[in-house]
Chain A
Amino acid sequence: MSRVVTWRAALVFAVLAALPGVPGISQYSLLLAFDALLFGAIAMSLDLLIGYTGLVSFGHAAFYGLGAYATAIVLERGVLSLWACLGAAVLVVGAYALVVSYFATARRGIYFALLTLIFAEVVYTFFRYTQTFGGSDGIQGLPDARLWPGAAIDTPLRKYYLVLTYLALAYAVCRLVVTSHFGRVLVAIRENEDRARFLGYSVQRYKMAICMISALLTGLAGAIYPMRSAFATPDLMLWTESGEFIISVMIGGLGTLVGPVIGGAFFTILRDKVSSYVDWYFIVIGVVLIVIVLFMPRGLLGFRRLLGFKQWRATA
């Protein structure tokens, strides 16, 4: 059994922590790095479901958006504490995720995907048309959150470290999950659900638990987003957003945790770079997606994963 946190991961985080020290790095690049890492963190928490448990959630945008709205509502009320925002997000996303995961995990395969999708659409429709929460404009012009009174998270540098800390913690949680006995059971469910059930595991309870973990991690990422963007809009909950999360997981490579982080970052940076040159960047993204599915179905980390997976199987 490998250690939960490997040296290689520690090295990557050290490099990321040193990134703002690169001479001449612009504020804009830091904010782009913020988006990339946040997107990567979400893809990583989604990988717990898709890659490890074999459940494709098409409703993660709702967890993300609800987290963002929780922060937006708290900040709008003049409560600037980061911890209050995160707490509110955990409560709201947790309550919603409990309902969704209870019903969605009762069904397998494509029904799980569709149930999560439709639940998310209900949430989207609610926020899109409720004027209390700004309707289609969402909640805009939010103040900066504070770590504690006097320590506002106001510069791109501080925001970058906020998201990096979050990514590190989320990565630790995910590693803990997948290296534990619990994680092994999830893989067993992915490989053969009936057999896992016959072995005496309460499959639905395991699925619900991992759904909750994944949803809460995504919700917390959502809670961090308005601290950089200063807004929360219903578009964050659109089902195409959920699609982009899945795409990031696929680009990076299923069931690798690190892969989806890279996939999410790659996707965010690609979107940003291409959109600054041409206004038809969706075509580029679509084509990249098609090419990856056709020619690199195992994602960017695919080759490594192929080897690692075999090795893992041999020892299992």
Chain B
Amino acid sequence: MDYVVAVLAPQLLHGLVFGAALGLLALGLTVIFGLLGVMNFAHGELYMLGAYAGIAVIGWTHSFWAALVAAPLAVGLIGAVTEVATLRPMYRREPLYGLILTFGLALVFREGVRQIWGGDMRRILPPFTGSTPILGMTYPDYRLFLLAASSALLLAIWLFFTRTRAGIVVRAAVQDAEMLDGLGVDVRRVFTLTFAGSAALAALAGLLLAPVFTVYPQMGVEMILLAFIVVILGGMGSMGGSVVAAFVIGVAQSLFSLWMNPQRVAIAIFGIMIVVLIVRPRGFFGREGVLE
């Protein structure tokens, strides 16, 4: 019982916290994948840009909360401009070109940030410290806030996609953009706004996780692979699947780290991935035969 309270429970909660933030990142990735058929390699850099934009806003206003609003907006704007300038001509091309293009974008963003802010590790202080007793242990308040905020966002996104007209239009574009175009919807605007939204979500995830992790130009590279894994595990293009898979990976990673050193954890996660891809390539909730 002591083991459960002192070791297992905090680790489980860590996993949920991380999983919720990972879900925000993976959700944007999966929607873009559904729209463009492209794994957005620059998604990790948008996540990183969120954290750096946060640093900039905090340096200016000294308020984490202002950053939480302004940083995703700024990165969303960057996303919109990027989409119009570079991705729009890619719609009718082979997905491979989109892959290379986003790879190039990632290089530009990463190096741009290094030029502006330098390559050192940085920290963002949590907006509040202290901890709360919960389930017989004490847990940092900020992480609880992180879990609550991410979960609320995930819920809001779910409501957006199921209850609002705009959300249904985006889902329709994921299903069949050409048909939607035929029905008189301005698909290009949908694509741009969706890309901006996915960029803003990635930025939000980056900023929310920044007080828990460290901020450095390479931070996106480390996360993007995990986010890819989540997207595949959940089933390509399945939004619900991505969220479930994000929690599974988050919890699995933090529980594994109780018994293994970090590289074994990474290898174990990759191992799960390989088995899933071989046995059930469409993931948890993916449609059969998509891109197979």
For chain B, the count of residues having a C-beta within 8 Å of the partner chain is: 43
On chain A, the residues within 8 Å of B266 by CB distance are 121, 125
Q: Cβ of B111 and Cβ of A282 under 8 Å apart?
A: yes
* Per-position binary interface string of chain B over residues 103-115, scored 1 when its CB falls under 8 Å from any chain A CB and 0 otherwise: 1111110111011
A278 to B58, CA, bound (A): 30
Residue of A nearest to B266 (CB): A125
On chain A, the residues within 8 Å of B39 by CB distance are 110
Interface check A141, CB cutoff 8 A:
no
Stretch at the interface among B11-19, B62-70, B273-281: B273-281
Q: Which of A107, A110, A122, A286 sits near B105, CB closer than 8 Å?
A: A286
Taking A122-B270, A289-B101 as contacts, is the C-beta distance between A110 and B95 under 8 angstroms?
yes
Q: Cβ of B291 and Cβ of A126 under 8 Å apart?
A: no
A187 to B261, CA, bound (A): 45
- CB contacts under 8 Å to B, within A102-133, are 103, 106-111, 114-115, 117-119, 121-122, 125-126, 128-130
Interface check B236, CB cutoff 8 A:
yes
Q: Cβ of B292 and Cβ of A118 under 8 Å apart?
A: no
Interface check B133, CB cutoff 8 A:
no
Q: Cβ of B267 and Cβ of A122 under 8 Å apart?
A: yes
On chain B, the residues within 8 Å of A247 by CB distance are 100, 103-104
Interface check A85, CB cutoff 8 A:
no
- A residues sitting closer than 8 Å to B (CB atoms) are 50, 56, 103, 106-111, 114-115, 117-119, 121-122, 125-126, 128-130, 239-240, 243, 246-247, 250, 280-283, 285-290, 293-294, 297
Q: Cβ of A111 and Cβ of B292 under 8 Å apart?
A: yes
Q: List 29 A-B contacts (CB under 8 A).
A: A103-B274, A107-B277, A108-B291, A108-B292, A111-B281, A114-B228, A118-B273, A118-B274, A118-B277, A119-B274, A121-B266, A122-B271, A122-B274, A125-B263, A126-B263, A129-B261, A129-B262, A250-B97, A280-B114, A280-B115, A281-B111, A286-B108, A287-B108, A288-B104, A289-B107, A290-B101, A290-B104, A290-B105, A297-B97
Q: Cβ of B291 and Cβ of A285 under 8 Å apart?
A: no
Most buried by B among A103, A125, A281, A285: A125
Main DSSP-derived SS at the A contact region: helix
Taking A118-B277, A286-B104, A297-B97 as contacts, is the C-beta distance between A128 and B263 under 8 angstroms?
yes
Q: Cβ of A115 and Cβ of B225 under 8 Å apart?
A: no
User: B76 → chain A, closest Cβ, in Å?
Assistant: 20
Q: Cβ of A109 and Cβ of B292 under 8 Å apart?
A: yes
Residue of A nearest to B101 (CB): A293
User: B25 → chain A, closest Cβ, in Å?
Assistant: 17
Taking A289-B104, A293-B101 as contacts, is the C-beta distance between A103 and B273 under 8 angstroms?
no
On chain B, the residues within 8 Å of A240 by CB distance are 221
A163 to B265, CA, bound (A): 38
Q: Cβ of A121 and Cβ of B107 under 8 Å apart?
A: no
User: B71 → chain A, closest Cβ, in Å?
Assistant: 22
On chain B, the residues within 8 Å of A288 by CB distance are 104
User: A246 → chain B, closest Cβ, in Å?
Assistant: 7
Residue of A nearest to B103 (CB): A243
With contacts A110-B291, A117-B225 known, what are 20 further pairs, Cβ within 8 A?
A50-B96, A103-B277, A103-B278, A110-B39, A111-B292, A117-B228, A118-B229, A122-B267, A130-B263, A243-B41, A246-B100, A246-B103, A247-B104, A280-B115, A283-B115, A290-B105, A293-B90, A293-B100, A293-B101, A294-B89
* Per-position binary interface string of chain B over residues 87-102, scored 1 when its CB falls under 8 Å from any chain A CB and 0 otherwise: 0011001011101110
Q: Which of A281, A287, A297 sits near B93, CB closer than 8 Å?
A: A297
User: A43 → chain B, closest Cβ, in Å?
Assistant: 13
A115 to B291, CA, bound (A): 14
On chain B, the residues within 8 Å of A246 by CB distance are 99-100, 103
On chain B, the residues within 8 Å of A280 by CB distance are 111-112, 114-115
On chain B, the residues within 8 Å of A283 by CB distance are 107-108, 111-112, 115
Q: Cβ of B270 and Cβ of A286 under 8 Å apart?
A: no
Taking A114-B277, A119-B274 as contacts, is the C-beta distance between A289 and B103 under 8 angstroms?
yes
A249 to B236, CA, bound (A): 27
On chain A, the residues within 8 Å of B131 by CB distance are none
Q: Which of A107, A119, A121, A286 sits near B292, CB closer than 8 Å?
A: A107
Q: Cβ of B236 and Cβ of A110 under 8 Å apart?
A: yes
On chain A, the residues within 8 Å of B262 by CB distance are 129
A186 to B273, CA, bound (A): 28
Q: Cβ of B101 and Cβ of A111 under 8 Å apart?
A: no
* Per-position binary interface string of chain B over residues 42-69, scored 1 when its CB falls under 8 Å from any chain A CB and 0 otherwise: 0000000000000000000000000000
A290 to B41, CA, bound (A): 13
User: A270 → chain B, closest Cβ, in Å?
Assistant: 13
On chain B, the residues within 8 Å of A294 by CB distance are 86, 89, 101
Interface check B232, CB cutoff 8 A:
yes
* Per-position binary interface string of chain B over residues 17-40, scored 1 when its CB falls under 8 Å from any chain A CB and 0 otherwise: 000000000000000000000010
Q: Which 7 A-B pairs have the closest CB atoms?
A: A289-B104, A286-B107, A129-B263, A282-B111, A286-B108, A290-B104, A286-B104
On chain A, the residues within 8 Å of B97 by CB distance are 250, 293, 297
User: B82 → chain A, closest Cβ, in Å?
Assistant: 10
